[in-house]
Amino acid sequence: MQTQKITIGFIGLGVMGKPMALNLIRAGYTLMVHDLRSETVREVTAAGALDGKSPASIGANCEVIITMLPNSPQVKEVVTGKGGILEGAKPGSIIVDMSSISPLTAIEVAGKAEEKGVEMLDAPVSGGEPKAIDGTLSIMAGGKKEVFEKMEKILLAMGASAILVGDIGSGNTAKLANQIMVALHLAAMSEAMVFAEKSGVDPEKVFQAIRGGLAGSTVLNAKMPLVLERNFKPGGPILMHTKDLLNVRDTAQETGAPIPLTVQVLEFMKALKEDGHGMDDHGGIIQYWEKLAHVEVKRK
């Protein structure tokens, strides 16, 4: 398949999807796009994309269809529902779902696609809006090796890396594992820095002292400076991370995997959402500990 010659369908032009679509256009691909928000469609068509009108229309006119949607129900509806991609898609087409969803949903949807002769990858991403904008996302894929190899060049127009993890569903398993680790890193950072503040020690100096040691991490380096600035503008909002941890919980229930720490952090995030912090960056989870300790971690 000569990827530069085909038209790629792209459904879901949200915080992540829009910059991903724009990067594909910059890479020289012809895009046909769809989103429920007409103003976003107009913005992307102004950059050179075609208006796909509906998922079924995109399925009928594109050999490759990328979806970037909020959660499992939306993916099922857009792919398998009335007027969905599979209503128009031709045998041999490839769906690449880049949403963060339940692995079990990915397997279910791929099964429905296979009945129509359509291949599918689940290929969620990590990196948030900044890396979506600059095209350096980490992409973790599940599906057939030969399908992944056909799509790899397209994926690398949106990401710095694209790794085939295993069979369909394993891309989302990897993404949920990623979200477990990020959530627990953020919780550990929050607890440690509120501990420092409550003990009368400058958290910024603690951060500088420990970042080069074993406790240092990408999460710490990315999020602690924002906490010190009290900048909780979302890259990855608490609301969306909560959604991912709910998918972890549901998947763990099906597989029997123990997730005691994840369940606890999920409850912290749910509490923050109820307090009106759902659209804060997930680094804003520190506010849970700050509320308990009656302190605020910030630059002195």
In a domain, 131, yes or no: yes
User: Tens digit of pLDDT for each residue in 118-140?
Assistant: 999 999 999 888 899 999 999 99
The domain boundary residue, chosen from 101, 135, 167: 167
Same domain, 145 and 77: yes
pLDDT at 3 over 70: no
| Domain residue limits at 29 | 3-167
Per-residue pLDDT at 110? 98
pLDDT at 8 over 60: yes
276 in the Ramachandran plot: left (φ > 0), alpha (ψ -120 to 50) or beta? left
Per-residue pLDDT at 5? 66
Tokens of 126: 């990590």
In a domain, 81, yes or no: yes
In a domain, 299, yes or no: no
pLDDT at 236 over 70: yes
Q: Is 175 a catalytic residue?
A: yes
Same domain, 154 and 196: no
What does pLDDT average to over the chain? 96
User: Tens digit of pLDDT for each residue in 155-210?
Assistant: 999 999 999 999 999 999 999 999 999 999 999 999 999 999 999 999 999 999 99
Per-residue pLDDT at 63? 96
Tokens of 237: 């909002």
Same domain, 163 and 189: no
Residue 222, burial from CB neighbour count under 10 angstroms (0-12, 13-18, 19+): middle
The domain boundary residue, chosen from 167, 188, 222: 167
In a domain, 300, yes or no: no
Confidence of residue 292 (pLDDT cuts 50, 70, 90): very high
The CATH number covering residue 231 comes to: 1.10.1040.10
**What is the share, in percent, of the chain residues with pLDDT greater than 90?**
96
**Measured between alpha carbons, how far is 62 from 6 in angstroms, rounded to an integer?**
7
In a domain, 73, yes or no: yes
Mean pLDDT value of segment 78-88 = 97
pTM of the complete model: 0.91
Same domain, 95 and 183: no
Same domain, 45 and 151: yes
Same domain, 117 and 228: no
Same domain, 121 and 188: no
Mean pLDDT value of segment 228-235 = 94
Same domain, 33 and 150: yes
In a domain, 150, yes or no: yes
User: Tens digit of pLDDT for each residue in 18-58?
Assistant: 999 999 999 999 999 999 999 999 999 999 999 999 999 99
Confidence of residue 1 (pLDDT cuts 50, 70, 90): very low
Longest Cα pair distance anywhere in the chain, in angstroms?
A: 65
Same domain, 15 and 140: yes
Same domain, 51 and 118: yes
In a domain, 144, yes or no: yes
The CATH number covering residue 80 comes to: 3.40.50.720
Query: Residues 18, 131, 175, 243: which is the catalytic one?
Result: 175
Per-residue pLDDT at 6? 80
Of the CA atoms within 13 Å of residue 113, those in its CB half-sphere come to: 30
Q: Could you give the residue ranges of the DSSP H alpha helices within the chain?
A: 17-26, 38-46, 55-61, 72-80, 85-88, 103-115, 128-134, 145-155, 170-198, 203-210, 218-228, 238-255, 260-272, 286-293
Same domain, 54 and 182: no
* Number of separate domains in the chain: 2
In a domain, 15, yes or no: yes
The domain boundary residue, chosen from 167, 199, 221: 167
